[in-house]
Amino acid sequence: MLRGLYTAASGMTTQQRRHDAITNNIANINTPGFKGSNAVTRSFPDMLLSAMGGPEGTVNPIGKLSTGVFAEENLLSMNQGDLQETFRMQDIALVSDILVPGAVFDGSGKFVDANGTVTYQPQAFLSILTPEGEERYTRNGSFRTAADGTLLTSDGMRVLGVNGQPIRVNVSWDEVKVTSNGSLINGTTGQPLDGAPQLRIMRVDNPNFLIREGDGRFRYEGEAAGIRQIAANDRVDVRQGFLERSNVDTAQSAVDLMAALRAYEANQKVIQFYDKSLDKAANEVGRV
Amino acid sequence: MNSSMITAAVSMNALQQKLDMLADNIANVNTVGYKRKTSVFEDILTSLNQQEQDFQQAGRRTPLGYSQGWGARLSSMQLDLSQGMLQQTGTPTDVAIEGNGLFEVRPDGTLGGSRAFTRHGSFQLISSGGGDRMLVTNSGFPVVAEVGGTESFITIPEGYNLTIEADGTLKGFGPQGSTPIELGKLKMMQATKPELLQSIADNLYGVPENVNIADVVTDVTQLPADALGISVRQGFVENSNVNMTDEMADLMIVQRAYTLSARAISSSDQMMNMANNLRA
């Protein structure tokens, strides 16, 4: 069988996966706190080709042949989304620009130093509790309150405070003010509310270890030392009355969609030509 | 291909729901006492496809596994209880609330029936027999007041005109020279958890059955008005708090997102077509 047939087929599958990732980005263009994903492709290991039929005992290498491509991973793009003012007292947006000494991060949140070590920009997240009692992270700050005053996300997960317990507010939210470090105080008196609640904001050193679970939640799968609460000198701002928009770029997504489609088509043409060649080999070679 | 179609179709559904909600707001831009609805999107469950150990290559940034999202959905629809603009009408039975307050009415017509709340203060007086008139909403539901600590409906005897003061005190003024009669105080409720209020018909709000009403609204009739910033204005109505500019801007955003999702569907349709025509 001609090797290129499988290479082209792997190309089609990869472009399909890229298309799926871009479509998901497009679908979530209006989702607050959404981080776009980029499908990263990688080439299969190269194969060494040798010529046959030479003198006995010799190997005549011709060269390397790439055997295909596959979609390796779905990277999260951690760019800060724009802030949109909603005037809702329970909407919270995080503005995260955490600095690491000696690192100047590029547009994708990565810094490569002279030795080749890669550092990623840490990101801040709000902590929420699933019904099973596990901690998850989110940037979607569109909160609401339950009947007993517990602060919930828009689909019912409880929001955690610095002490690891869900936050409960017993007064009307018209009077609650959230300061820039996440503490909830009484807007008129300036005093902290009962129990001094403060939003639990975690700093993730390498955001690539966050797995997206859907429903606005991320799960951390890295080392325990790579995630901790933010310190006072981390540049993280909490803004009440704002929502962080999705960081998906519409124009770029539309262009990428077209690119994936045309690459798919190019691979399809390659398969069609291989098909014609095989047709000749099977049906016309040796025809009497 | 199929995944893209599913993703795009699911999110077009969500956008359609948001469009319906925006249309509802726009249709009610002139409804007295209407409070606009807002909603947020959220991304749907993401599947994590397993990858074998061989996929752990040098230069790979994320843990093993390929994640795939499936679009967006509308997550929660909530009432925005911000103040609407007051408009003077001069009608003595029109009442507007300034601040976070609600009137209480009885849709069943009896004091023991189900409780509903409203901001729609275009009240009217209907005859309740014997020359007396009762204060009801524009749909005919009686308005509740507190008279001497107990709830009752508001009945104005014949020959008296109703005056409503800024803190809700009701007084009837009779012919020249007679002393005004006390008719009680308008029952004023404050919504402590406005997102638990449910819209029921006729511009009323209710509390769902499984929720304790006391958790959602509190009776603030007896508290001094200036303590809470709630005051009542006779002769005014509160316009709807729908801002056409914001709604139209949202409408355009939803439209463009819808177009883009439709583009993704037609793109994946072309891909499926190509796969079908691999071997014509």
Contact B70 A24 (CB under 8 A): yes
Distance between A75 CA and the closest CA of chain B, angstroms: 7
Contact B69 A28 (CB under 8 A): yes
Neighboring chain A residues of B43 at a CB cutoff of 8 Å: 24, 27-28, 31, 34, 212, 214-216
Neighboring chain A residues of B8 at a CB cutoff of 8 Å: 23, 26-27
Looking at residue B130, what is its pLDDT? 80
Give CA–CA dist A81/A94, Å, rounded: 9
Give CA–CA dist A206/A186, Å, rounded: 35
Neighboring chain B residues of A154 at a CB cutoff of 8 Å: 40, 42, 75-76
Looking at residue B222, what is its pLDDT? 72
Looking at residue B181, what is its pLDDT? 86
**Residue A260 confidence class, pLDDT cut points 50, 70, 90:** very high
Neighboring chain A residues of B264 at a CB cutoff of 8 Å: 22-23, 26-27, 257
- Residue B259 sits at the chain A interface (C-beta within 8 Å): no
Amino acid in position A267: N
Tell me the pLDDT tens digit for each residue of A17-30.
999 999 999 999 99
Amino acid in position A135: E
Contact B63 A209 (CB under 8 A): yes
Give the mean pLDDT of B128-155: 86
Looking at residue B247, what is its pLDDT? 95
**Residues pairing with A219 in the sheet:** A211
Is the pLDDT at A78 greater than 90? The verdict is yes
Amino acid in position A67: T
Burial class from Cβ neighbours inside 10 Å (0-12, 13-18, 19+) for residue A276 reads exposed
Which range has the worst mean pLDDT, A1-15, A120-134, B144-158? B144-158
**Residues pairing with B238 in the sheet:** B86
Q: What is the DSSP string of chain B?
A: -HHHHHHHHHHHHHHHHHHHHHHHHHHTTT-TT---EEEEEEE---EEE---GGG--TT--SPSSEEE---EEEEEEEE--PPPPEEE---TTBEEEESS-EEEE-TTSSTTS--EEE---B-EEEE-STT-EEEE-TTSPBBEEEETTEEEE-EE-TT-EEEE-TT-EEEEE-STTSPPEEEEEE-EEEESSGGG-EEETTTEEE--TTS-HHHHEEE-TTS-HHHHT-EEEETEEEPP---HHHHHHHHHHHHHHHHHHHHHHHHHHHHHHHHHTTT-
Q: What is the distance of C-alpha B128 from the center of its chain?
A: 32
CA angle A156, B260, B21 (to 5 degrees): 45
**Residue B147 confidence class, pLDDT cut points 50, 70, 90:** confident
Contact A147 B215 (CB under 8 A): yes
Of B55, B193, B264, the CB nearest to A145: B193
Looking at residue B225, what is its pLDDT? 58
Shortest CA distance from B255: residue in chain A: A30
Give CA–CA dist B203/B137, Å, rounded: 10
- Residue A42 sits at the chain B interface (C-beta within 8 Å): yes
Of A26, A32, A265, the CB nearest to B274: A265
**Residue B77 confidence class, pLDDT cut points 50, 70, 90:** confident
Distance between B250 CA and the closest CA of chain A, angstroms: 10
Of A27, A140, A212, the CB nearest to B11: A27
Of A171, A172, A268, the CB nearest to B278: A268
Chain A window 206-225: which residues touch B at a Cβ cutoff of 8 Å? Answer: 208-209, 211-216, 221-222
| Interface predicted TM-score (ipTM) of this complex, two decimals | 0.86
The alpha carbons of chain A give a radius of gyration, in whole angstroms, of 26
Tell me the pLDDT tens digit for each residue of A50-69.
887 777 777 788 888 888 99
Tell me the pLDDT tens digit for each residue of A129-150.
999 999 999 999 999 888 888 9
Looking at residue B258, what is its pLDDT? 95
Distance between B5 CA and the closest CA of chain A, angstroms: 8
Give the mean pLDDT of A91-120: 90
Give the mean pLDDT of A275-280: 90
Contact A20 B274 (CB under 8 A): no
**Residue A264 confidence class, pLDDT cut points 50, 70, 90:** very high
- Residue that is written with structure tokens 């009432």 in the block: B79
Give CA–CA dist A260/B255, Å, rounded: 24
Q: Kindly report the three-state secondary structure assignment for every residue of chain A.
A: CCHHHHHHHHHHHHHHHHHHHHHHHHHCCCCCCCCCEEEEEEECCEEEEEECCCCCCCCEEEEEEECCEEEEEEEECCCCCCEEECCCCCEEEEEECCCCCCCCCCCCCEEECCCCCEEECCEEEEEEECCCCCEEEECCCEEEECCCCEEEECCCCEEEECCCCECECCCCHHHEEECCCCEEEECCCCCECCCCCEECEEEECCHHHEEEEECCEEEECCCHHHEEECCCCCCEEEEECEEECCCCCHHHHHHHHHHHHHHHHHHHHHHHHHHHHHHHHHHCCCCC
Q: Kindly report the three-state secondary structure assignment for every residue of B118-173.
A: ECCCECEEEECCCCCEEEECCCCCEEEEEECCEEEECEECCCCEEEECCCCEEEEE
Neighboring chain B residues of A253 at a CB cutoff of 8 Å: 260
**If you average pLDDT over every residue of chain B, what do you get?**
88
Of A30, A73, A213, the CB nearest to B61: A73
- Residue B63 sits at the chain A interface (C-beta within 8 Å): yes
- Residue B252 sits at the chain A interface (C-beta within 8 Å): no
Looking at residue B132, what is its pLDDT? 86
Shortest CA distance from A140: residue in chain B: B42
Is the pLDDT at B1 greater than 70? The verdict is no
Contact A268 B275 (CB under 8 A): yes
**Residue B224 confidence class, pLDDT cut points 50, 70, 90:** low
